[in-house]
Amino acid sequence: MAGILVFVEQRDGELRKASLQALSEAKRQAAAAGWSVSAVLPGSGVGDAAAGLGAWGADKVFVADEPNLLRYSAEGYAEAVAKAAESAQPSAIFFAGTAMGRDLAPRVAAGLGVGAVPDAVALTLNGDSFNVRRPVYSSKAFAEADTAGKTPQVISLRPNVFAAEETGGSAEVVAVDGLALSIRAVVKALVVVAGEELDVAEADIIVSGGRGIKGPENFALIRELADALDGAVGASRAAVDAGWIDHSHQVGQTGKVVSPSLYVACGISGAIQHLAGMSSSKVIVAINKDPDAPIFKIADYGVVGDLFDVIPPMVEAIKAL
Amino acid sequence: MNCIVCVASVPDTASVIKVGADGKSIDEAGIKWIVSPFDEYALEEALQLTEAKGGEVTVVTYGPARAEAALRDCLARGAHQAIHIVGGEATLGDSFTIAKVLATVLKDREYDLVLCGIQGVGTDSSQVGQMLAVLLDLPSVAIVTKLEVGDGSLTAEREVEGAKEVVESPMPALITCQKGLNEPRYAALKGIMAAKKKPVEEIDVASLGIEEGADPFYRVESITLPPEKAAGTIIQGEDDPSAAAAELVKLLREEAKAI
């Protein structure tokens, strides 16, 4: 039986939300086609997490539980996925499009002698072949693409686009044996950036600041609004290049391309490179003094006004909800 | 310390994208072509490493005739020589074929480090570097924002969601470079003049035994533009910002159901 193999990512034993979204989408696609779904979970001490994947749609879970796989290793994880693929013989291999998934998918594909299609925002199964809709030119355009008949079809799925759906099944868990794990590039440490738990790439709500916030100290105001909304703090290139905030916050063509359910742009005029990075957000809010700022052209809601006067009462109103 | 930097010639990030007549590619009329911005970090890092440790920087691109301008730009900034693999129009976005072409050319060259940008702006695939590492059997680190090179080994910081991974690897190795790694230099007039005399080795992709488009690993059916957005609700908040804020929050709650 044809099937889909899904790479599942964990950090310290906790399953990543984006992986559950990819697994759920695999389940929806497989159910329609009468295919099976398997998952592969590399890590160390991840046995309990593996068993839980049945509830998210996996029929079978390949567990590569090795001390050497505690931290991400491009070489080690790729070997584990390749071994699982050798056993499962899938028609397609799905990855969540996280930093890890986007790194691993091309490595697994090249190792299997095939290409990969990154950053899917919609998938359609025609016969045995997935048609993938993906943003190109930083969402200024979309491509409909496929693997030109090559299998397995290695595809990464953009986070926060596909719904995670617990279906409540159970999975057969099998160990991936015989891994050589000749790892050359070794992750020595994972350093969590202090106070920055939510990354814009993963966030469902993003509040971004641009040149209009006037200085680094005023990111406190942006952060206040983000906190009130349980969101992440983003920034325009202008704010990053001015040195006001770390580039890991940058949204746009040379930063991160995001599609949260709510994007609030504060003091961002809306250069084409910024719009490219966030225009696929579900709801866009702009707060800007300049009524002619290009950001208003793509905003669902806008307030023409001084962000320093508008944000504080906004925070109060949200807290009062 | 010899470095190879892989660069791509891409549309300027300020370009307005239009769909081409075939419906599968973009209209290239009026597009200004630049070195992919992430590749600039790769070049700058290679230049700084060779300035500190000696050795040479070779830039390589796989692209049509216009891509030579990207190589000249890199030579003007200080790269020592360049390789232009001429072709690539039929394989745009086909990361695996691109990686195979690069690997075929690079496999017999001598280097300590191969540097790529995290992705080519435009196709936005972020795959060629990793695939090239697999094909050249090199250890590699992607999305590098900090690099220290020691004697035969490197330590790199790699950006992941809300954290950084610290990775150690022997060399030769391959890294893909992200914003934050360095501040790329611009070409000075003297460099631009000098670049005209620096060697560019031209290799026709057909001479590598690769027939472009004959065995694709990625196929584009169509390119479309996103639908035009309907005009949004704009609230005038200059006179009474508090009332505007309250109205916005109410709309987000009740109409958009976004909060």
Q: Kindly report, residue by residue over B9-35, the tens digit of the pLDDT.
A: 999 998 999 999 999 999 999 999 999
* B249 to A300: CB separation less than 8 angstroms, yes or no: no
Provide the 10 A C-beta neighbour count for residue B211.
10
Q: Look at residue B214 and give its three-state secondary structure.
A: coil
The model's pLDDT over A28-37, given as tens digits with 9 standing for 90+, comes to 999 999 999 9
Distance from B41 to chain A by nearest Cα, in Å?
A: 12
Selecting from A280, A287, A313 the residue whose C-beta is nearest the C-beta of B246 gives A313
Q: Look at residue A55 and give its three-state secondary structure.
A: helix
Probe site for chain A from B40, B124, B147, B253 (most A CB atoms < 10 A): B124
Which pLDDT belongs to residue A13? 86
Which pLDDT belongs to residue B229? 82
Q: Are the beta carbons of A10 and A151 closer than 8 angstroms?
A: no
* A145 to B218: CB separation less than 8 angstroms, yes or no: yes
Q: Is the pLDDT of residue B116 over 80?
A: yes
Q: Which residues of chain B make contact with A189, given a CB cutoff of 8 A?
A: 165-166
Q: Is the pLDDT of residue A197 over 70?
A: no
The side-by-side arrangement of strands in the sheet containing A283-288 is: A232-235, A205-209, A262-266, A283-288, A301-304, B233-236
* CATH number of this structure's domain A3-175, picked from the four choices 3.90.1150.10, 3.40.50.2300, 2.30.30.30, 3.40.50.620: 3.40.50.620
The model's pLDDT over B200-238, given as tens digits with 9 standing for 90+, comes to 999 999 999 999 999 999 999 999 998 888 889 999 999
Provide the β-strand partners of residue A62.
A40, A174
Selecting from A262, A302, A310 the residue whose C-beta is nearest the C-beta of B258 gives A262
Selecting from A135, A202, A273 the residue whose C-beta is nearest the C-beta of B13 gives A273
Pinpoint the residues of chain A covered by CATH 3.40.50.1220.
205-319
Which pLDDT belongs to residue A194? 63
Could you give the C-alpha distances from A66 to A8, A164, B195, in angstroms and in order?
Answer: 15, 27, 51
Which pLDDT belongs to residue A201? 86
Distance from B197 to chain A by nearest Cα, in Å?
A: 32
Which pLDDT belongs to residue B249? 96
Q: Which residues of chain B make contact with A316, given a CB cutoff of 8 A?
A: 245
* B180 to A248: CB separation less than 8 angstroms, yes or no: yes
The model's pLDDT over B39-94, given as tens digits with 9 standing for 90+, comes to 999 999 999 999 999 999 999 999 999 999 999 999 999 999 999 999 999 999 99
* B245 to A138: CB separation less than 8 angstroms, yes or no: no
Distance from A185 to chain B by nearest Cα, in Å?
A: 4
* B248 to A142: CB separation less than 8 angstroms, yes or no: no
Q: Which residues of chain B make contact with A291, given a CB cutoff of 8 A?
A: 234
Binned at pLDDT 50, 70 and 90, residue B250 comes out as very high
The domain spans of chain B are 3-208, 234-259
The side-by-side arrangement of strands in the sheet containing A141-146 is: A122-126, A129-136, A141-146, B219-224
Give the closest residue to A70 by CA, choosing from A189, A163, A162.
A189
State chain A's maximal CA–CA distance in angstroms.
63
Which pLDDT belongs to residue A254? 85
Q: Closest-CA residue in chain B for A245?
A: B180
Please indicate, yes or no, whether the overall pTM of this predicted structure exceeds 0.95. no
- Homologous superfamily of B3-208 in CATH? HUPs (3.40.50.620)
CA angle, residues A228, A158, B129, in degrees to nearest 5: 120
Binned at pLDDT 50, 70 and 90, residue A122 comes out as very high
Spatial CB neighbours of A150, under 8 Å, sequence gap ≥ 6 = A114, A115, B217
Question: How far is the C-alpha of A287 from the C-alpha of B237, rounded, in Å?
Answer: 9
Q: Which residues of chain B make contact with A145, given a CB cutoff of 8 A?
A: 93, 218-221
Q: Is the pLDDT of residue A123 over 70?
A: yes
Q: Which residues of chain A make contact with B168, given a CB cutoff of 8 A?
A: 185-186, 188
* A114 to B127: CB separation less than 8 angstroms, yes or no: no
Q: Which residues of chain A make contact with B116, given a CB cutoff of 8 A?
A: none
The model's pLDDT over A266-311, given as tens digits with 9 standing for 90+, comes to 999 999 999 989 998 999 999 999 999 999 999 999 999 999 999 9
Give the closest residue to B135 by CA, choosing from B71, B74, B69, B210.
B210
| Percentage helix, strand, coil for chain A under 3-state DSSP, each rounded to 5 | 35, 30, 35
Could you give the C-alpha distances from B90 to A169, A265, B114, in angstroms and in order?
Answer: 45, 39, 25
Average pLDDT over residues A107-119: 98
Average pLDDT over residues A199-210: 93
Q: Is the pLDDT of residue A1 over 70?
A: no
Question: How far is the C-alpha of A19 from the C-alpha of A10, rounded, in Å?
Answer: 8
* A188 to B167: CB separation less than 8 angstroms, yes or no: yes
Probe site for chain B from A70, A71, A107 (most B CB atoms < 10 A): A107
Tracing tokens 């759906």 back to the chain, one arrives at A165
Q: Is the pLDDT of residue A196 over 80?
A: no
Q: Are the beta carbons of A78 and A107 closer than 8 angstroms?
A: yes
Buried b (16+ CB within 10 A) or exposed e, A144-153: bbbbbebbbb
Selecting from B180, B218, B258 the residue whose C-beta is nearest the C-beta of A115 gives B218
Mean pLDDT taken over chain B = 96
- How many pairs of residues across A and B have Cβ atoms under 8 Å apart? 280
Tracing tokens 């995290």 back to the chain, one arrives at B118
In the CATH hierarchy, which fold is given to the domain comprising A205-319?
A: Rossmann fold (3.40.50)
